[in-house]
Amino acid sequence: MARGRAAGYDDQREAIVAHAAELFARQGYHATSMNQLAEATGLSKATLYHYYKDKDALLVHIADGHVSRLQALVSEVRALGLKPQAQFRELVRRIVEEYADAQHAHRVLTEDVKFLPAADRQRILDKEREVVAGFAAAVAALRPELKDAALATPMTMLLFGMINWMFTWMKPEGALDHQALAPMVADLFLGGLPAVRVPVAAAVVG
């Protein structure tokens, strides 16, 4: 009979992932060694390899886990059947609050996926595209003509431009937290969206 995992195995794996994400985010994937990870986690290098076979496995776990959570929250919000503006606000709220506890993982997803083997990289990028597509559909529900002019996705990328880099300037001890900023992001985007003009060339193509 196969021997079961010791109690706390999954907790230890997630603790390793959290330390790895922080180190990768702060000093870069290539600059981080398994020795440094072992030191940060308080584990021996041999024990570390018991949980993850190498740095690539850790990078995959960090990036895939983060983007999978984003993918799931998009699906959950869309399943609620909310009206367009309420759906958009809920998507923004959920993704901004998800980033509050995943700043290191998000930075790794943004900057280090390029170092993964091709198959892993493609799978993760495909999931990212699904997240973008979910937001683009929400934007198009607010202004259908943007979809007709192939502008819903560019508008979504501009939205992500606001959200994705919050970790570069937000201070944990600052007056504003992610919960307070989420409705501001939605207000800013929704306030400006009606003013967006469809370029003539895009309108003709559409």
Q: What is the pLDDT of residues 146-166, one digit of tens each?
A: 887 789 999 999 999 988 877
Residue 120 covered by a domain = yes
Q: What is the pLDDT of residues 59-84, one digit of tens each?
A: 999 999 999 999 999 999 999 999 99
- Give the pLDDT score at 156: 95
CATH number of the CATH domain containing 185: 1.10.357.10
Q: Rounded distance, CA 121 to CA 140, Å?
A: 28
Residue 7 covered by a domain = no
Tokens of 115: 């170092």
Could you tell me which of 150, 159, 156 has the C-alpha nearest to residue 202? 150
Residue 29 covered by a domain = no
Q: Rounded distance, CA 27 to CA 96, Å?
A: 24
- Give the pLDDT score at 31: 94
Question: What mean pLDDT comes out for the span 124-138?
Answer: 96
First-residue to last-residue Cα distance in the chain: 62
The average confidence (pLDDT) of the chain is 89
Residue 157 covered by a domain = yes
Residue 42 covered by a domain = no
**pLDDT of 206 strictly over 70:** no
- DSSP letters spanning the chain: -PPPPPTTHHHHHHHHHHHHHHHHHHH-TTT--HHHHHHHHT--HHHHHHH-SSHHHHHHHHHHHHHHHHHHHHHHHHTTT--HHHHHHHHHHHHHHHHHT-HHHHHHHHHHGGGS-HHHHHHHHHHHHHHHHHHHHHHHHH-HHHHHTT-HHHHHHHHHHHHTTGGGT--TTSS--HHHHHHHHHHHHHHHGGGPPPPHHHHHH-
Residue 35 covered by a domain = no
Q: Rounded distance, CA 20 to CA 79, Å?
A: 33
Count of structural domains, the chain: 1
Could you tell me which of 170, 10, 24, 153 has the C-alpha nearest to residue 97? 170
Residue 136 covered by a domain = yes
Q: What is the pLDDT of residues 5-17, one digit of tens each?
A: 555 888 899 999 9
What is the residue range of 119's domain?
Answer: 55-205
Q: Rounded distance, CA 124 to CA 136, Å?
A: 18
CA 64 to chain centre: 9
**pLDDT of 202 strictly over 80:** no
Residue 108 covered by a domain = yes
The confidence band for 2, taking pLDDT boundaries of 50, 70 and 90, is very low
By the 8 A CB rule, do 38 and 44 touch? Answer: yes
- Give the pLDDT score at 1: 38
By the 8 A CB rule, do 72 and 158 touch? Answer: no
Q: What is the pLDDT of residues 79-108, one digit of tens each?
A: 999 999 999 999 999 999 998 888 899 989
- Give the pLDDT score at 189: 93
